[in-house]
């Protein structure tokens, strides 16, 4: 129930119910135990107009949020890292995206942890490049016929082949676009092969698959693929660390959905400290398991 619903039900003021809940959340969740933390995921979420961000740290073994920081980047995590040092936590692995801010934060504060780059983020990054490449090819098309075939194929390119809708003729439309434009076909099939990097039996095999992918991307002569290959090569150790710790920031997506739902139910939050307490209390995990 929302605070207003509880207040109406009990016939007391909204502020009274909020204060009761805030005190309860503060007592139960404001100081999560961190000394047993082993595997964590870190990501930022947009929670308000004007790009208001919060950085979330999730305990991947329990699903509990253990820290909510204001803003994003290294500065938003300073308090968390101080608490970790005081708790003498021994973090084994951290999942983040490939941003330089997170790379620097983990390197400077969790140097003994295995840093795993989220594979969903890697695939999304390539999909964004592929969408931009299709748009470029559309504008460079030499005929109306070519533009007509390329138009509306963005989502077909991004879908997994098994999800294409035959009833809507999506597979045939995609085939037409790929037959028409060889560079687009090369980029598309490399997109499909990119997923194979994370589905190998072991790290050694995955490294061979990754190096083969890099070689094919560079041999294509397509600038977009060459640049992405440089990015992937630069981050290859973090990508392959998935085979040491098969973790990702994926569980944070579920938490983000719950946060957005909570925000909509409350019609927004004016008190961000209370909002952060609500996020910490999203998972009714026993305090003994929070760390």
Q: At 37, which CATH number?
A: 3.30.420.10
One domain, residues 52 and 109? yes
One domain, residues 44 and 100? yes
One domain, residues 91 and 141? no
Task: Give residue 284's pLDDT.
Answer: 60
- What is the rounded average pLDDT for all residues in the chain? 88
Residue 291 has pLDDT above 60, yes or no: no
Task: Give residue 270's pLDDT.
Answer: 65
For residue 102, being part of any structural domain is answered with yes
For residue 78, being part of any structural domain is answered with yes
Sign of CA dihedral 119, 121, 126, 127: positive
For the segment 64-104, what is each residue's pLDDT rounded down to a tens digit?
Answer: 999 999 988 899 999 999 999 999 999 999 999 999 999 99
One domain, residues 165 and 270? no
Q: What is the DSSP letter of 163?
A: G
For residue 277, being part of any structural domain is answered with yes
For residue 243, being part of any structural domain is answered with no
One domain, residues 132 and 182? yes
Distance in angstroms (rounded) separating the CA atoms of residues 130 and 222: 12
One domain, residues 131 and 97? no
- Where are the extended beta strands (E) located within the chain? 39-48, 52-59, 65-70, 93-96, 114-117
pTM here is 0.83
Burial of 106 per CB tally in 10 Å (0-12, 13-18, 19+)? buried
One domain, residues 124 and 232? yes
Mean pLDDT of 191-202: 96
For residue 49, being part of any structural domain is answered with yes
Structurally, how many domains does the chain consist of?
2
Whole-number percent of the chain with pLDDT over 90: 55
Query: Residue 48's domain spans which residues?
Result: 31-118+248-290
One domain, residues 144 and 230? yes
For residue 2, being part of any structural domain is answered with no
DSSP 3-state of 93: strand
One domain, residues 220 and 82? no
Residue 259 banded pLDDT, cuts 50, 70, 90: confident
Task: Give residue 290's pLDDT.
Answer: 40
Q: Return the half-sphere exposure (C-beta side, CA atoms, 13 A cut-off) of residue 28.
A: 20
One domain, residues 170 and 270? no
One domain, residues 228 and 151? yes
Distance in angstroms (rounded) separating the CA atoms of residues 135 and 138: 5
For residue 19, being part of any structural domain is answered with no
Residue 43 banded pLDDT, cuts 50, 70, 90: very high
Task: Give residue 254's pLDDT.
Answer: 84
For the segment 112-135, what is each residue's pLDDT rounded down to a tens digit?
Answer: 999 999 999 999 999 999 999 999
One domain, residues 201 and 190? yes
DSSP 3-state of 102: helix
- Residue of higher predicted confidence among 286 and 119: 119
For residue 162, being part of any structural domain is answered with yes
Residues 187 and 133 sit within 8 Å (Cβ to Cβ): yes
């Amino acid at each position: 129930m929302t605070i207003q619903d509880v207040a109406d039900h009990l016939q007391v003021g909204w502020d009274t119910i909020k204060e009761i809940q805030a005190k309860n959340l503060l007592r139960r969740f404001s100081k999560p135990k961190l000394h047993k933390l082993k595997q964590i995921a870190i990501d930022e979420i947009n929670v308000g107009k004007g790009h208001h961000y919060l950085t979330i740290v999730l305990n991947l073994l329990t699903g509990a949020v253990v820290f909510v920081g204001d803003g994003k980047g290294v500065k938003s995590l300073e308090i968390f890292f101080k608490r970790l040092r005081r708790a003498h936590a021994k973090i084994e692995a951290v999942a983040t995206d490939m941003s330089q801010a997170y790379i620097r934060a983990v390197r400077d504060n969790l140097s003994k942890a295995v840093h795993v780059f989220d594979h969903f983020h890697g695939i999304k990054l390539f999909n964004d490049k592929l969408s931009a490449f299709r748009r470029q090819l559309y504008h460079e098309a030499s005929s109306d016929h070519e533009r007509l075939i390329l138009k509306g194929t963005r989502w077909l390119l991004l879908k997994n082949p098994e999800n294409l809708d035959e009833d809507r003729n999506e597979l045939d439309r995609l085939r037409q676009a790929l037959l028409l434009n060889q560079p687009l076909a090369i980029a598309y099939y490399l997109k499909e092969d990119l997923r194979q990097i994370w589905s190998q039996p072991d790290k050694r095999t995955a490294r061979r698959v990754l190096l083969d992918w890099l070689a094919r991307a560079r041999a294509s002569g397509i600038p977009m693929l060459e640049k992405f290959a440089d990015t992937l090569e630069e981050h290859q150790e973090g990508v392959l660390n998935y085979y040491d710790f098969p973790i990702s920031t994926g569980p944070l997506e579920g938490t983000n959905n719950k946060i957005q739902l909570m925000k909509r139910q409350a019609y927004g939050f004016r008190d961000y400290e209370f909002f952060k307490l609500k996020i910490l209390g999203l998972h009714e995990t026993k305090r003994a398991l929070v760390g």
